[in-house]
Amino acid sequence: MEITIVIVSYQAKYFLEQTLRSAIEAVEGLDCEIIVVDNNSGDGTAAWVRERFGQQVRLIENKHNVGFGRANNQAIAQARGRYTLILNPDTIVTRSCLQSCCQWMASHPECGAIGVHMIDGDGHFLPESKRAFPTPWVSFCKIFGLSRLFPRSRWLAKYHLRYLDEREPHAVDILSGAFMFCRTSLLQQVGGFDEDFFMYGEDIDLSYRLVKAGYQNWYVPASIVHYKGESTRKESMRYVKVFYEAMLIFYRKHFPRYRAVFYPVIKLGVWMRQSLAMARRALGVPASGSKPQASPGQWVVLSRHAQEVARQCHIERYSTCIPASGETQVIVDDGSYSYGHIVQLIDSKARRGLHWHIYSSRNGIVISPKMQQP
């Protein structure tokens, strides 16, 4: 078997269906398997997957939320593919992406895992696609905002490696857990994810252990869409607390000699970030990563049945061509375009003010970067 795709899901039913349909399209004709681990979503996800995908997907149902790492390990232990793809349930993957990863692995025996060019739902590059090891200096620059102030500096902005061309392949340190294409034998050899991490940090730890095992991690510029967990606000107090607690676990494990110096720095960083989040909330200031609420602008419907899709979406006036400028909302019908074509459109036409939504022809709903799951 060529590829095992592992998807851990928690309360992301409609995003998950889109991810599964894109994955099934991507592996058509290949000897592959797809395993979904549902972490007790409580929203009917397991029954939904059984009803809609049947034998196309192997389902593991957990009775409670065991965390990202442990849930992935349940599937990794059963993986039969030469390669295992760890994939988030809010992504759109393409055949060309998987082909690029397989070809890169075959021609680079020193490569243990691959990350790719991830774009958000509006086509903007996600910098966590490639990162450096969070050494004390790299972490200090991130915690205290130096990497954001000097994003192209090789000295101050190593965390996201923004000075590396996003359209070129590079050997990098850290890959994102939203898409990690790994050699299955190596993944099982190193024991999969460290289950001490419940959420955040597992991908950093695994990437570090793959390199310690003598392999390289590579960034390959093949594009996927990653909605980036829209329910998680990066400036929230909860995110700050959970993320930096994960960093403390990482340092206790891999850099114990820095404990006396680095722990107080981490604690200070957490206190500063939480204080900033509290101040923003008290003053009603939007988080730095949030988007302003703009007027909808003009609508574009891309579909062989544009009139029907517009009617279903309650849109009275629309165009069928994407303008070169201006605030524009684009609805693309997944019944008229393949997911590979949709990702290509979002990637190639990204610009300021252009917002993408995917009409799910099977469900009659719109999958949007800002949608709230029921």
- Rounded CA gap, 100 and 221, in Å? 9
Say if CB 233 and CB 101 are below 8 A apart: no
Note the pLDDT of residue 294.
47
Say if CB 158 and CB 148 are below 8 A apart: no
Residue type, 277: A
Say if CB 204 and CB 139 are below 8 A apart: no
Can you read off the two tokens belonging to residue 129? 């696609």
For the whole model, what pTM was predicted?
0.88
Say if CB 114 and CB 218 are below 8 A apart: yes
Note the pLDDT of residue 244.
67
Residues 43-71: b if buried by 16+ CB within 10 A, e if exposed: bebbebbeeebeeebbbbebeebbbbbbb
Record: fold of 3-130+166-226: Spore Coat Polysaccharide Biosynthesis Protein SpsA; Chain A (3.90.550)
31 to 1, 4, 94, 115: CA distances (angstroms): 5, 9, 16, 22
Say if CB 69 and CB 184 are below 8 A apart: no
Q: How many helices (H) and strands (E) does the chain have?
A: 12, 13
- Rounded CA gap, 336 and 323, in Å? 20
Cα end-to-end span (Å), the chain: 36
Phi, psi of 199, rounded to the nearest 5 degrees: -155, 125
- Rounded CA gap, 103 and 106, in Å? 5
- Rounded CA gap, 147 and 197, in Å? 25
Helix (H, G, I), strand (E, B) or coil at 357: strand
Phi, psi of 356, rounded to the nearest 5 degrees: -110, 140
Helix (H) or strand (E) holding 184: helix 184-189
Walk along the chain (374 residues) and give the pLDDT tens digit of each residue: 999 999 999 989 999 999 999 999 999 999 999 999 999 999 899 999 999 999 999 999 999 999 899 999 999 999 999 999 999 999 999 999 999 999 999 999 999 999 999 999 999 999 999 999 887 788 778 877 888 899 889 989 888 999 999 999 999 999 999 999 999 999 999 999 988 776 678 898 999 999 999 999 999 999 999 997 544 445 455 666 666 667 777 777 777 776 666 667 766 766 776 677 677 667 765 554 444 444 578 999 999 999 999 999 999 999 999 999 999 999 999 999 999 999 999 999 999 999 999 999 998 999 987 664 43
